[in-house]
A and B are shown apart, each in its own frame.
Chain A
Amino acid sequence: MIAALVRGPLGRLVPVAVVLLALQTTLFVDVQPFGVVLQLLTAFAAAAGVAGGPERGMLAGFLLGLMFDLGTGAPLASSSLTMGLAGLVAGSVTFLNIELRWWLSAGFVALGAAVGEFAVPVVRYVIGQEDVFSEHLYTIVPVVAVGAALLSPLLVPLGRWCLLIGKVEWKVPNE
């Protein structure tokens, strides 16, 4: 069973998440465009959703969120909710049933990341934290979304690899 877990998506997702979390807590806290911390893990959760659909995106987001909360001291599972939501929203691209172009993937990764980031203060408000909504949120959400879109060419293939998903091949139906 353990071997199956290691060989499955979990065996790839966890090490990748550890590396991404290390980057999130080092590189991305120093490199802040417009004073906003780009959310690498939220973007990756959204990318996993684009690559694998809403369920896998949500599960990946849940796991990534747990690791983020454990690593940063945030209330446990608060980021699981937001990143899971990011994966779910971004994964809805698969409902379109069309070929995924890079710009479409980038757009849905951006959408998922934006929804996920907006959900952070909402979740914090629900669990009793005060003064979580500020005008800065109008800057944070678009910048996080654009950052996620720019990172999507790297993150979507990485998400596909982590979730053991082969590249979609479109075949011309036989006449």
Chain B
Amino acid sequence: MANLAIGRRRLIALLLLTSVLLLTLDLRGNVVFDRARDGFALVMSPFETAAQVVTRPAVNAWRAITEYDDLLDELARLQEQVDGQRGAEIAARNAIIEHQRLLALNDLESLADIPSVTASIIGLSPSNLDQIVEIDRGGLQGIETGMPVVNEAGLVGKVTQVFPNSSLVMLATDTRYAVRVKVLSEQTPVEPTVPPDTVPSGLEVGDVTTTTTTTTTTTVPEPVVPGEDEPGDDPTGADPTGAHPAGADPAGDDPAGDDPAGDADAPDDPFGLDGPITVTTTTAPPVLVERETGALRGQGQRRLPMVTFVSSSPTLGQINVGDTVSTAGGRESLAPPDIPVGVVRNVISRPGSAGTELEVELSADLNRLQFVRVLLFRPLAEVES
């Protein structure tokens, strides 16, 4: 650089100053630049469409080469996950319906009440730093800057720029993204004391309606001695798992007299422990408890978003790994409350006033976005004004 001529130095200085000027004007917000962006997007649109069509074979070939093994692994994993979630889905649907009914009953707002626009991803960020995607719905469909974007799994990000027929969405992993969230954790209620056999009125316990509890029965099978009848060998169709509450022998299941209580060796086993040992535990359903609120901030593509400004309240208990995180809402918040965000993966305790920081694994897989929903939500403060 020693032989940089004066003209060259002037040119460098001129371009540098121009860049700084443009940057300053743009960061302060400039209508002319916004219009220029809109116009440029309009001009670029046909070129991008053409490039997409022309390069599709090359992209498909690349994906076939690089993603085939991953795809097979993913397929197997998802199949396993689907099998596992079938049962949970039914229970979750019932819970959601009940939740909606309760909200409606109490005249409370829920996510289902907020109109939304479904959009598909048409472009990813061409930068290694920005976490921005482009969707195929824009201002003509009612989308406005700041609206939250979700998918089936949870929060995806927010709209940052709106064009007539497309919009840019900043993902929750972008370093400029921030949203108020609350941390929820499951808390099992304290076991109630064992109720008496009778209630004061003298009624039997079985005659009294009690609160719902979940009963889990675990049966430890009796050690199998070769030559003896194995539970599964019972030709009479007796329940091989023995998954019945103690003493609840299904009628007719044991006509062959295999009932342990009626075994010939019963006198040697006065407590009936010779047969399958049945342990019955009663647990109350877990209750979601709101621990604390904080601000979720993106940390870039390969790092988990972080919740800051959290102070774990001893009265509410500690925040643990696995606790769920959802949006907190509020008058000024751009996102409505109760959008699932993810689960706590790491709890980082900072000394002093820094408080606790949480690393959150997002529920939505932002690397595999195809369709998203833009919630046409406006903050309460804005609606009122």
Contact = CB atoms under 8 A, between A and B. Distances in A.
Nearest to B52: A26
A31 B59 contact: yes
B85 interface: no
B95 interface: no
A36 to B, nearest CB: 6
A29 B20 CA distance: 28
Given A71-B44, A131-B299, A62 B19 contact: yes
B128 A71 contact: no
Interface stretch (B33-41, B274-282, B339-347, B350-358): B33-41
A26 B57 CA distance: 12
A144 B126 CA distance: 13
B122 to A, nearest CB: 10
A129 interface: yes
B125 interface: yes
Interface stretch (A73-81, A103-111, A164-172): A73-81
Contact of B15 (A59, A71, A131, A134): A59
B302 A136 contact: yes
Nearest to A136: B302
Contact of A27 (B7, B40, B59, B127): B59
Contact of A72 (B22, B130, B176, B302): B130
Contact of A37 (B18, B123, B126): B126
Main secondary structure of the interface of A (DSSP, over half): helix
A132 B302 CA distance: 12
Contact of A58 (B12, B63, B125, B126): B12
Contacts of B176: 129
Contacts of A62: 15, 18-19
Given A23-B51, A25-B48, A92-B1, A120 B27 contact: no
Contacts of A19: 47, 51
A33 B48 CA distance: 21
B101 interface: no
A61 B184 CA distance: 49
Interface in A15-29: 18-19, 21-29
B262 to A, nearest CB: 67
A157 B170 CA distance: 37
B132 interface: yes
B311 interface: no
Given A26-B51, A140-B128, A70 B37 contact: yes
Given A29-B123, A29-B125, A84-B19, 12 more contacts: A25-B126, A54-B8, A55-B7, A62-B18, A62-B19, A78-B23, A80-B19, A92-B1, A95-B3, A127-B23, A132-B129, A140-B128
Interface of B: 1, 3-4, 7-8, 11-12, 15-16, 18-23, 25-27, 33, 36-37, 40-41, 43-44, 47-48, 50-52, 55, 58-59, 62-63, 123-130, 132, 160-161, 168, 175-176, 299-303
13 contacts: A19-B47, A26-B123, A27-B51, A29-B124, A66-B22, A73-B160, A73-B161, A76-B22, A76-B33, A77-B18, A78-B19, A131-B300, A136-B128
Q: Which 9 A-B pairs have the closest CB atoms?
A: A77-B22, A22-B51, A76-B26, A22-B47, A27-B55, A70-B40, A77-B19, A29-B124, A30-B59
